[in-house]
Chain A
Amino acid sequence: MFYREAGDFKTSYRDDSQTFPIGFDRYRYYAVLVLAFAVVPFAIDDYWASAIFVPFLIYAIAAIGLNILVGYCGQLSLGTGGFMAVGAYACYKLMTAFPDLNIVFCILGGGLVTAAVGVLFGLPSLRIKGFYLAVATLAAQFFLVWLFNKVPWFYNHSASGQISAPARTVFGQPVTGAGVEAWAQYMICLVFAVVLAWAARNLTRGTVGRSWMAIRDMDIAAEIIGVNPLKAKLTAFAVSSFYIGIAGALFFAVYLGAVEVGEAFGIQKSFLILFMIIIGGLGSIFGSFAGAAFLVLLPVLLKNVLVGTLGWPTDLTAHVQLMILGALIIGFLIAEPHGLAQLWRVGKEKLRLWPFPH
Chain B
Amino acid sequence: MTNRLAPLALGVLLAAGPAAADLVFPDLSYRTGPFAAGGVPFSDGYQDYFTLVNERDGGIGGVKARVPECETAYNTEKGVECYEATKGDGALIYQPLSTGITYQLIPKVEADHIPLHTMGYGRTSAANGKVFEWVFNYPANYWDGASVIVKYLMDENGGSLEGKKITLLYHNSAYGKEPIPTLEALSKKHGFKLTLIPVDSPGQSQKSQWLQIRRERPDVVVMWGWGVMNQVAIQEAANINFPMDHFIGNWWAGAEHDVAPAGMAADGYKALNMNRVVDYPVFADIRSHVIDKGLAAGDGSYVGSVLYTRGMYAAMLAVEAAKTAQEMTGTAQIDAAMMRDGMEHLEMTDARMEALGMPGIGPEFTVSCADHGGSGMAIVQQWNAAEKTWVPLTDFIAPDAEVIAPLIEADSTAFAAENGIAPRCD
Chain A interface residues (CB < 8 Å from chain B): 45-47, 50-51, 55, 149, 159-162, 164, 166-167, 177-180, 256-260, 262-264, 266, 300, 303, 307-311, 313-315, 317-319
Whether the pair B107, A257 counts as a contact (CB closer than 8 A) is yes
Given contacts A258-B106, A315-B31, 4 further A-B contacts (CB under 8 A): A262-B200, A266-B201, A300-B81, A314-B29
Whether the pair B103, A47 counts as a contact (CB closer than 8 A) is no
Interface check B80, CB cutoff 8 A: yes
The residue of chain B having its C-beta at the shortest distance from the C-beta of A167 within the complex is: B419
Whether the pair A162, B110 counts as a contact (CB closer than 8 A) is no
A226 to B88, CA, bound (A): 60
Whether the pair B124, A159 counts as a contact (CB closer than 8 A) is yes
Interface 9-residue window, one of B68-76, B278-286, B338-346, B370-378:
B68-76
Query: B241: which A residues are within 8 A, CB to CB?
Result: none
A257 to B109, CA, bound (A): 13
A180 to B343, CA, bound (A): 26
Whether the pair A256, B76 counts as a contact (CB closer than 8 A) is yes
The A-contacting residues of B in range 1-15, CB under 8 angstroms, are 1-2
Name the one of B69, B73, B76, B99 contacting A264, with C-beta atoms under 8 angstroms: B76
Report B36 CB to chain A, min CB distance, Å.
8
Name the one of A55, A257, A264, A309 contacting B1, with C-beta atoms under 8 angstroms: A309
Whether the pair A259, B172 counts as a contact (CB closer than 8 A) is no
Query: A178: which B residues are within 8 A, CB to CB?
Result: 107-108, 110-111, 419
A313 to B298, CA, bound (A): 10
Whether the pair B71, A51 counts as a contact (CB closer than 8 A) is no
Report A95 CB to chain B, min CB distance, Å.
10
**Cross-chain pairs A/B with CB under 8 angstroms, 16 sampled:** A46-B88, A51-B81, A55-B77, A159-B124, A160-B174, A160-B175, A161-B173, A178-B108, A180-B111, A262-B200, A303-B71, A307-B1, A307-B69, A315-B31, A318-B32, A318-B73
The 8 A CB mask of B98-114 against A (1 = contact, 0 = none) is: 01100110111011000
The residue of chain A having its C-beta at the shortest distance from the C-beta of B1 within the complex is: A311
Whether the pair B103, A258 counts as a contact (CB closer than 8 A) is yes
Report A60 CB to chain B, min CB distance, Å.
15
Query: A46: which B residues are within 8 A, CB to CB?
Result: 84, 87-88
Whether the pair A177, B180 counts as a contact (CB closer than 8 A) is no
Query: B84: which A residues are within 8 A, CB to CB?
Result: 46-47, 50-51
Report B237 CB to chain A, min CB distance, Å.
23
A326 to B200, CA, bound (A): 26
The residue of chain A having its C-beta at the shortest distance from the C-beta of B99 within the complex is: A160
Whether the pair B1, A260 counts as a contact (CB closer than 8 A) is no
Interface check B159, CB cutoff 8 A: no
Interface check B123, CB cutoff 8 A: yes
Interface check B359, CB cutoff 8 A: no
Interface check B411, CB cutoff 8 A: yes
Chain B interface residues (CB < 8 Å from chain A): 1-2, 29, 31-32, 36, 40, 69-71, 73, 75-77, 80-81, 84-85, 87-88, 99-100, 103-104, 106-108, 110-111, 123-125, 172-175, 177-178, 180-181, 198, 200-201, 411, 418-420
Name the one of B29, B104, B420 contacting A257, with C-beta atoms under 8 angstroms: B104
- Given A46-B84, A51-B85, A262-B172, answer yes or no on A314-B103 (Cβ-Cβ < 8 Å): no
Report A173 CB to chain B, min CB distance, Å.
14
Report B54 CB to chain A, min CB distance, Å.
18
Query: B180: which A residues are within 8 A, CB to CB?
Result: 159
Whether the pair A162, B87 counts as a contact (CB closer than 8 A) is no
The residue of chain A having its C-beta at the shortest distance from the C-beta of B86 within the complex is: A47
Query: B99: which A residues are within 8 A, CB to CB?
Result: 160
A309 to B172, CA, bound (A): 38
The residue of chain B having its C-beta at the shortest distance from the C-beta of A47 within the complex is: B84
Query: A303: which B residues are within 8 A, CB to CB?
Result: 71
- Given A160-B174, A179-B111, A309-B1, answer yes or no on A47-B123 (Cβ-Cβ < 8 Å): no
- Given A50-B84, A167-B419, A315-B71, answer yes or no on A260-B100 (Cβ-Cβ < 8 Å): yes
Query: A310: which B residues are within 8 A, CB to CB?
Result: 1
Whether the pair B80, A167 counts as a contact (CB closer than 8 A) is no
* Complex A-B, nearest 6 residue pairs according to Cβ-Cβ distance, in ascending order: A311-B1, A315-B31, A178-B107, A160-B174, A314-B71, A51-B81
Name the one of B29, B75, B124 contacting A263, with C-beta atoms under 8 angstroms: B75
Among A264, A313, A315, find the residue whose CB has the most chain B CB atoms closer than 10 A.
A315
Query: A51: which B residues are within 8 A, CB to CB?
Result: 80-81, 84-85
- Given A177-B419, A308-B1, answer yes or no on A262-B173 (Cβ-Cβ < 8 Å): yes
Whether the pair B81, A161 counts as a contact (CB closer than 8 A) is no
- Given A159-B180, A160-B177, A179-B111, answer yes or no on A256-B77 (Cβ-Cβ < 8 Å): yes
Whether the pair A256, B104 counts as a contact (CB closer than 8 A) is yes
Query: A164: which B residues are within 8 A, CB to CB?
Result: 103, 107, 418
Query: B31: which A residues are within 8 A, CB to CB?
Result: 313-315, 318
The residue of chain B having its C-beta at the shortest distance from the C-beta of A316 within the complex is: B31
A90 to B125, CA, bound (A): 26
Whether the pair B173, A260 counts as a contact (CB closer than 8 A) is yes
Query: A314: which B residues are within 8 A, CB to CB?
Result: 29, 31, 69-71
Query: A160: which B residues are within 8 A, CB to CB?
Result: 99, 103, 123, 174-175, 177-178
Whether the pair A315, B32 counts as a contact (CB closer than 8 A) is yes
A149 to B196, CA, bound (A): 13
Whether the pair A263, B173 counts as a contact (CB closer than 8 A) is yes
Among A159, A257, A258, A260, find the residue whose CB has the most chain B CB atoms closer than 10 A.
A159
Whether the pair A318, B76 counts as a contact (CB closer than 8 A) is no
Report A30 CB to chain B, min CB distance, Å.
31
Whether the pair B76, A162 counts as a contact (CB closer than 8 A) is no
The residue of chain B having its C-beta at the shortest distance from the C-beta of A177 within the complex is: B107
Query: B76: which A residues are within 8 A, CB to CB?
Result: 256, 259-260, 263-264
